[in-house]
Amino acid sequence: MASGPPSGGGFLRWVELTGAPDGPPRYPFTLPVVAALRDAGRLELDPAVTFLIGDNGTGKSTLIEAIAVAAGFNPEGGSRNFRFATRSTESPLGEHLTLVRGVAKPRTGFFLRAESFYNVATEIERLGVFDGYGGQSLHERSHGESFLDLAAHRFGPRGLYLLDEPEAALSVQGCLALLTRIRDLVDAGSQFVIATHSPILLASPDARILQIEDGGTIRSVGYDEAQPVEWTREFLADPQRYLHYLFADPA
């Protein structure tokens, strides 16, 4: 008998925008995702896996960071126990989010922010806590290997994991390995919220895919409708047509 979809942890049920500063809108409150949150009232999350997708500048990474801050994670990444700061660049959006939580509490958790993972690896090395990350300094591994070490050794059952573009350091094979790990952890009661451009990661079974539009709306889409999937398929089906258009001499 086939099993049903994984239940996940359901630690975060939805996200609400609780207000914005007075006066003319300023970053990050000018981002499409913030306008969408304001109009929708709340952003419902899947108990297992939610993907945020959208073009550059729509605000998906800013929203992931804000959810992480509101959930008590270090803005540069890491677990709730990490409190280092290299440079304060986080937006104030997290101060204006309310996280509506489920009944259960996560046993563990991690915020992976691709652009600042070097700083997290440096902090892990400073603390000397290599055993939880594969037994070796992450600086002695390739960028992609260190991401996979993190998922394999630090991520565990009943965890809340917020990932910002984890595919940034991964090969196709690496994305497939992470996809498998996500499924295993969801089966073990974990919840993921992931900002991504990867059509491979978006194939995670039964995931909720929320597409942030440039105009300031968020809509739930199926895998085949998701922009990264649709555009990648179109390019691979006829790359020469795209290249001809991109490299055509201006009239």
List the chain pLDDT tens, one digit each, 251 residues: 345 555 789 999 999 998 777 777 788 888 999 888 988 889 999 999 999 999 999 999 999 999 999 999 988 777 777 665 555 556 889 889 999 999 999 999 999 887 666 566 666 676 666 656 666 655 556 767 888 888 998 899 999 999 999 999 899 999 999 999 999 999 999 999 999 999 999 999 999 999 998 888 899 999 999 999 999 999 999 999 988 888 887 65
Q: What is the rounded distance in angstroms from the CA atom of residue 69 to the CA atom of residue 74? A: 6
Angle (CA) 69 73 78, round 5°:
135
Q: Which helix (H) or strand (E) holds 39?
A: helix 32-40
The tokens describing 204, both together, are 């995670």
The listed CATH number (3.40.50.300, 1.10.520.10, 3.40.1170.60, 1.20.1050.10) that belongs to domain 12-115+155-247: 3.40.50.300
pLDDT for 127? 62
- Asked if 53 contacts 46 with a C-beta cutoff of 8 angstroms, the reply is no
**Cβ burial 4-28 (10 Å sphere, 16+ → b, else e):** eebebbbbbeebebeeeeeeeeeeb
